[in-house]
Structure 1
Amino acid sequence: MTIDLVTKGIRAGMSPAAAAIQDQIDEHLRALADLFRIVDWRRQSGESLTDQQLHVCTLAAAGLSNREIAARMFLSEDTVKTHLRLSYSVLGIRRRSQLVWALAGKGGAV
């Protein structure tokens, strides 16, 4: 029996509220798994993104605005812009729209 079949069976017995909470938990677990893949790529590749740059890039790739990233990380918007600009250089990209591709191409999916 696969994990998907077990998960479907468990969800079938859940209330709608419990299923919604489980969906949120699953989403957060997928995001964490993606972040761990990116961190693992970083460790293996020797790229020089700092932890904070990587975090900013991950949030930007997930669709957050600079203002939202700044609020979430307790940074100024200018600091977020600087992290992104420096990260683009390290990743060899020019635009925010290329972040998902750049991070996914380095061994992690965002």
Structure 2
Amino acid sequence: MKEDLVKVVGNIAVVTKKVDDALNAKKISTEAMEKASEENKPLKNDASRLQDEANKLSKEPMSNWAGLGRGEEKIAKLESNMEIFAKEKLDAEETYTNLLAEKRSL
């Protein structure tokens, strides 16, 4: 019986040692994870910022991604104005030519 008691106490000591080792290992790993988390905070912030930008871009129309959209509208309006001005220039030249012809005929 005394030997059994010695075995049980020995087993309790072994289990206690293993529990202590496990708790120490958990503490060390938690500290290491916290340290890694602190060291990686700038990376996490950058990743978060990039994710936010990606989310914003994914919500924008594709034409805005390529820098088009409003720019395309402006170009179309400028082209339209250029056509109007070109027509007005031709009209003015024709009027000038007609006026010169009338002047010569007088």
- Same fold (TM > 0.5): no
TM-score (norm 1): 0.29
> Whose RCO is larger (CA < 8 A, sep 6+)?
1
Bigger proportion of residues as helix: 2
